[in-house]
Amino acid sequence: MKRSYPEGLLTRDLSNCGWYPYVTLRQTTIRVGPGPEFPSLATVAAGKRMGRQSVRNPTYSSNPPLRGHRNGYVWCYAVQGGRTGWVVKSDLLPAEGNGRTNGPAREDFEVGRGEPRRKARPRFVLGKPRSGVRTVTASEVHLRISARGTSVYYLQRSDRVELLWRSGMFGFYGVEVLESKSARVGQRGWVKDNAISKGA
């Protein structure tokens, strides 16, 4: 029987998020979560370029819809420096593309500047199933759509996750969010293994 990852634990070929070019209307703050109560990660001056994330794009559309807002915040990254997180939506304006808004690691694509790059579907499954409930020990850590891929939330210290899979080669756990101050409960994704507590 052919092995597969648990439902909701995806590989890079099923992600393919695009980034829409924006510019900051005023000085703004990139935060861990969608609200002023969440920790600040960076301050971005007025007039700086930002990328706003699309929805997941498994069909490789060149024009995927924008990811929606939460509490008036949207998931973005600063083109200069690559810091990722939540930004007040009203602090941003759509901008002309220049081909540089292609993700924090330059692995995605700028919407309106061609097609997303095709990613090979993995030929085999890496790692093995895991179980148990663990606690996040890092101050914040990315929750990614795929291991080493684009992030969609942060997890914060004391958040709780259920283990689903261990990919030792890349140092990631596949998890489901049980309790979180900033991520959606029930969200599945990949998190660095050194950011959560060890088992008994």
Mean of pLDDT values over 85-108: 93
Structure-token match 């209307």, residue found: 25
Three-class DSSP category at 44: strand
- Going from N- to C-terminal start, the domains of the chain cover 17-110, 128-195
Residue listed under structure tokens 């596949």: 174
What is this structure's pTM? Answer: 0.93
Candidates 2.30.30.40, 2.50.20.10, 3.40.50.150, 2.30.42.10; correct CATH number of 128-195? 2.30.30.40
Would 17-110 and 128-195 be classified into the same CATH topology? yes
Q: Which residues are CB-neighbours of 156 under 8 A, at least 6 positions away?
A: 32, 33, 39, 136, 139, 140, 180, 181, 182
Q: Which residue has the tokens 């600063």?
A: 78
The tens digit of pLDDT for each residue in 46-68 reads: 999 999 999 999 999 999 999 99
Radius of gyration for the alpha carbons in the chain, expressed in angstroms and rounded: 17
List, for residues 8-45, the tens digit of each pLDDT value.
999 988 889 999 999 999 999 999 999 999 999 999 99
CB 165 within 8 A of CB 128: yes
How much is the pLDDT for 2? Answer: 56
Q: Which residues pair with 111 in a beta bridge?
A: none
Give the number of residues written for the chain: 200
For the record, the structure tokens of 1 come out as: 């029987």
- pLDDT value for 1: 44
CA dihedral for 161, 176, 183, 93, sign (positive or negative)? positive
Phi and psi angles of residue 79, each rounded to the nearest 5 degrees, phi first = -60, -40
What phi and psi values does residue 33 have, to the nearest 5 degrees? -135, 170
Q: What confidence tier does 105 reach under pLDDT thresholds 50, 70, 90?
A: confident
Q: Are the C-beta atoms of 193 and 166 separated by less than 8 Å? A: yes
CATH of 17-110, one of 3.40.50.150, 2.30.30.40, 3.40.50.300, 3.30.1490.20: 2.30.30.40
